Amino acid sequence: MRPGDASRKTRGSSGKPGVFAVLACALAASCVWGLLSGQADFRAADLVPALRSVFEGSGGTAASVFFAIRLPRVLLAVVIGASLGISGAAFQGIFRNSLADPFIIGASSGASLGAGLAISFGIGLAPPFSPVPFFAFTGSLAAVILAFTVSRAAGDPPPSAALLLAGTSVGSFFSGILSLVLVLRDRGLYQVYYWLLGSLGGSTWRELFSVLPASAAGCLLVCLQAGALDLLIQGDQEAASLGLDVTRTRFIAASGAALAAASAVSAAGIIGFAGLIAPHCARLFTGPRHSRLVPASALTGALILVLADTLARILIPPVEIPLGIITGLGGAPFFLYLLARHGRSLGRLS
């Protein structure tokens, strides 16, 4: 695709009004559904007395359920979903590959290794803020750099197949290291294993406030590089000819995407395919321009995670299905559909 064609396509796709309003309304509706649904169902009218009891200090069961259990969990799902959506959009732009996402290219596995090591060695519970996101970010960034470096042996930019194979290999390698550490340490093995499946069970305000700074920083870095990502899609030579520092831009955007993904993993474990689905869905409505695609991916990712977490709580009561299983059951067929429908032409965004 020539730069002029990309520019015309971007202008034609970015003029659709109301996309963000529709996504925001859908997200708000999903949050309300999440607050009202569960083992103890509530009506919307119950929110008012529950809120009044909080201000009066009288407490009560309804107030505890809404404001101590469900509200922080729903808000954490919004933050994690937005982080994964933005991370996926950034990785797809950085690698010029529509198959890239934090889970597929190994970023989630790297983050889980860093976070798992922190938890296994007992350094993940330090108040007031947990150091787990820092370790998760380190592992995530290392996995991304390693996968991209290995895949470049097959071409620059790396072909879809090379990136997928490298990401899968790096992810398996990092997961193997974590499994070995857990077996040798034998500390909280079941807890860490359940966390690796992805779950928001037991989420509190502390988890939300702990993950929010890292998530916000990562998302902000990606948003600031939105215009540069548009240039990267046109190719390194074209971007450099327009005055863009390709290496610096790719490093900053990848760091932001890795930090966003790491914050999500540190709070909820590995949640596969959300970072892949959200940008694809958002791109249908906003086009390829990252100034619109990135925030739309955040809203779409948040919507997906809130819906998935609500389903995880209500599908088989009183059992709560791990969130990673829900996203995997929905995301894996979507990924296979992309491969089967688009074949060889799928990987390239340029």
Amino acid letter for position 347: G
Amino acid letter for position 70: R
Decide: 49 and 266 in contact? Cβ < 8 Å.
no
Task: Give mean pLDDT, residues 69-98.
Answer: 92
pLDDT of residue 10: 43
pLDDT higher than threshold 60 for residue 346: no
Alpha helices in the chain (DSSP H): 3-13, 19-36, 47-56, 61-63, 71-94, 107-120, 132-151, 160-185, 189-196, 205-224, 226-233, 236-241, 246-268, 274-286, 290-314, 323-342
pLDDT of residue 160: 64
pLDDT of 167-210, one tens digit each? Answer: 889 999 998 998 888 888 766 566 667 767 888 988 889 889 88
Question: What is the Cα Rg of the chain in Å?
Answer: 20
pLDDT of residue 302: 97
pLDDT higher than threshold 70 for residue 12: no
Percent of residues, the chain, with pLDDT higher than 70: 79
Domain that holds residue 273: 3-345
| Cα 77 to the center of its chain, rounded Å | 10
pLDDT of residue 256: 93
Number of domains in the chain: 1
Q: What rounded mean pLDDT belongs to the chain?
A: 82
Decide: 326 and 308 in contact? Cβ < 8 Å.
yes
pLDDT of residue 57: 55
Orientation angle between helical segments 107-120 and 189-196, nearest 10 degrees: 160
pLDDT higher than threshold 80 for residue 65: no
Q: How far apart are CA 110 and CA 219, in angstroms?
A: 19
Residues 6+ apart with CB under 8 A from 299: 20, 23, 24, 27, 82, 85, 282
pLDDT of residue 112: 87
Asked if residue 204 is part of any domain, the answer here is yes
Task: Give mean pLDDT, residues 129-153.
Answer: 83
CATH number of the domain that residue 164 is part of: 1.10.3470.10
Q: Considering only residues 116 and 124, tell me which one the structure prediction assigns the higher pLDDT.
A: 116
| Coil, strand or helix at 42 | coil
pLDDT of residue 84: 95
C-alpha distances (whole Å) from 197 to each of 105, 108, 128, 142, 268 are 18, 12, 26, 22, 9
| Coil, strand or helix at 319 | strand
pLDDT higher than threshold 50 for residue 13: no
Decide: 102 and 91 in contact? Cβ < 8 Å.
yes
Task: Give mean pLDDT, residues 268-286.
Answer: 90
Strand partners, 47: none
Q: Considering only residues 223 and 141, tell me which one the structure prediction assigns the higher pLDDT.
A: 223
pLDDT higher than threshold 80 for residue 164: no
Task: Give mean pLDDT, residues 282-309.
Answer: 94
Confidence of residue 44 (pLDDT cuts 50, 70, 90): low
pLDDT higher than threshold 80 for residue 51: no
pLDDT of residue 350: 53
Asked if residue 350 is part of any domain, the answer here is no
Decide: 232 and 248 in contact? Cβ < 8 Å.
no
pLDDT of residue 79: 97
Going by the DSSP 8-state scheme, the letter that residue 70 receives in this structure is I
pLDDT higher than threshold 70 for residue 331: yes
Q: How far apart are CA 211 and CA 256, in angstroms?
A: 14
Token pair 């390194």 is found at: 236
Amino acid letter for position 52: R
Confidence of residue 1 (pLDDT cuts 50, 70, 90): very low
Asked if residue 265 is part of any domain, the answer here is yes
pLDDT higher than threshold 80 for residue 15: no
Residues in the chain: 350
Asked if residue 181 is part of any domain, the answer here is yes
- pTM assigned to the model: 0.84
Confidence of residue 6 (pLDDT cuts 50, 70, 90): very low
Highest-confidence range of 117-131, 140-154, 245-259, 293-307, by mean pLDDT?
293-307
Confidence of residue 23 (pLDDT cuts 50, 70, 90): very high
Going by the DSSP 8-state scheme, the letter that residue 124 receives in this structure is S
Q: Is the bond leading into 157 cis (omega within 30 degrees of zero)?
A: yes
C-alpha distances (whole Å) from 1 to each of 119, 169, 220, 234, 295 are 47, 31, 29, 8, 25
Q: How far apart are CA 277 and CA 262, in angstroms?
A: 18
**How many CA atoms does the CB half-sphere of 249 hold within 13 Å?**
23
pLDDT of residue 218: 94
pLDDT of 226-253, one tens digit each? Answer: 999 999 888 888 888 988 888 889 889 9
